[in-house]
Amino acid sequence: MYLGVVMDLYSRRIVGWAFDSQMTDELTRRALKVFQERRKAKSGLIDHSDGSVQY
């Protein structure tokens, strides 16, 4: 199982996540979608990734 997470770097809280049996770009998209739905993200938000292929 793989876990994709989105962390708010200011608060250090996990604000989006998704599980899957494969590490794919869809896992990343689902984690970002959970974040957008929970936080009602506004345009202009800065996204920083660790540089892995999926992100």
Whether 55 maps to a domain, the answer reads no
Residue pair 6/55 in contact (Cβ under 8 Å)? The answer is no
Q: What is the DSSP string of 26-55?
A: HHHHHHHHHHHHHHTPPTT--------TT-
Whether 47 maps to a domain, the answer reads no
Whether 54 maps to a domain, the answer reads no
| Per-residue model confidence as pLDDT tens digits over 23-39 | 888 998 899 889 888 87
Quickly count: other Cβ atoms within 10 Å of residue 27's Cβ.
19
Domain that residue 28 falls in: 2-39
Whether 33 maps to a domain, the answer reads yes
Our count of domains for the chain comes to: 1
| Per-residue model confidence as pLDDT tens digits over 11-25 | 999 999 999 999 888
Whether 9 maps to a domain, the answer reads yes
Q: Whole-model pTM above 0.85?
A: no
Whether 35 maps to a domain, the answer reads yes
